[in-house]
């Protein structure tokens, strides 16, 4: 949280403040297009940090009375494993670690929304001066970037296709696309219903990554925008204390959203994989 500047890119006052905070640090790719370098780098660092923290606790795990950190990690692992066990009835040796990775990684990325809004700008100002801070863009919440959430959801979609083919075979998967959900007796009926079945199955399959990615992105983007609006509305020092109170209240409520969105993304991933694994 911080005081909005008097001017900024995209306009002055509140408008310029929000536009500046919603602009990504981009990198032009040699083959065309741009890469949101801030989202990619922060997501990578958080993923490696999550792996490191879990690895250190796994190394120090004891069979005796666990410490607080080990007890917390065990609680998270058992919670995720219980969700997988209740939903996925096949071999869980890959699904359980996948679900744990998704839950912890998404929770870490979502939690970046709790950092003080102007902390990155304050650090850049202290190191390189206000002019560098004004021309430096950095969005620290990777899941508030639709590219990040769609990258996650497309990966889940590819796993759904893989498990569908693994469970039903290539021919069984292809046949199901044309023969379900509508069934018909006789060659003529099967030919007539083949196109409607294919259309419905394509809509069902494609809607999964879209809904998965947009749900996470929409909630985190909205939460980030509320933090910016509160900071902008209380931009003067005279309203600094009310601004801190409003930001604190929203941050406490936002903790629930952070964990809930990570949980929903994990559970829907398990459900989609369980549906793909089951035979019709």
Known catalytic residues?
211, 215, 219
List, as one string, the DSSP characters of 133-192: HHT------GGGSHHHHHHHHHHHHHHHHHHHHHHHHHHHHHHHHHHSSS--SSHHHHHH
**Which single residue is written with the structure tokens 């890119």?**
9
Instruction: Give first-to-last CA distance, the chain, whole Å.
Output: 52
Whole-angstrom distance, CA of residue 99 vs CA of residue 76: 11
How far apart CA 21 and CA 35 sit, in angstroms, is 17
Interatomic CA distance for residues 117 and 227, integer angstroms = 7
Alpha helices for the chain (secondary structure H): 13-21, 37-59, 68-87, 95-111, 119-128, 130-134, 146-179, 187-233, 240-277
Report CA torsion sign: 201, 205, 211, 212. Answer: positive
- For residue 27, the surrounding DSSP H or E stretch is strand 26-28
């Amino acid at each position: 949280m911080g005081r909005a500047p008097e001017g900024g890119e995209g306009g002055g006052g509140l408008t310029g403040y929000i536009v500046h905070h919603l602009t990504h640090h981009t990198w032009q790719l040699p083959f065309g297009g741009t890469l949101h370098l801030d989202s990619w780098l922060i997501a990578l660092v958080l993923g490696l940090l999550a792996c490191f923290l879990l690895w250190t606790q796994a190394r120090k795990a004891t069979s005796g009375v666990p410490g607080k950190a080990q007890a917390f990690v065990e609680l998270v692992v058992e919670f995720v494993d219980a969700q997988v066990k209740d939903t996925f009835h096949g071999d869980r040796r890959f699904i359980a670690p996948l679900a744990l990775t998704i839950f912890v990684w998404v929770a870490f990325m979502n939690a970046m929304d709790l950092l003080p809004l102007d902390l990155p700008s304050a650090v850049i100002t202290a190191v390189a001066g206000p002019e560098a801070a004004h021309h430096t863009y950095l969005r620290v919440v990777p899941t508030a970037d639709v590219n990040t959430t769609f990258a996650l959801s497309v990966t889940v979609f590819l796993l759904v296709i893989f498990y569908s083919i693994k469970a039903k075979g290539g021919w069984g998967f292809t046949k199901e696309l044309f023969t379900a959900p509508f069934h018909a007796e006789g060659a003529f009926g099967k030919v007539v219903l083949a196109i409607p079945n294919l259309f419905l199955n394509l809509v069902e399959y494609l809607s999964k990554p879209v809904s998965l990615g947009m749900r996470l992105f929409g909630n985190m983007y909205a939460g980030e925008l509320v933090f910016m609006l509160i900071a902008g509305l209380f931009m003067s020092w005279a309203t600094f204390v009310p601004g801190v109170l409003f930001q604190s209240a929203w941050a406490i409520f936002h903790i629930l959203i952070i964990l809930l969105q990570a949980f929903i993304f994990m559970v829907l991933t398990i459900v989609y994989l369980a549906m793909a694994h089951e035979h019709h």
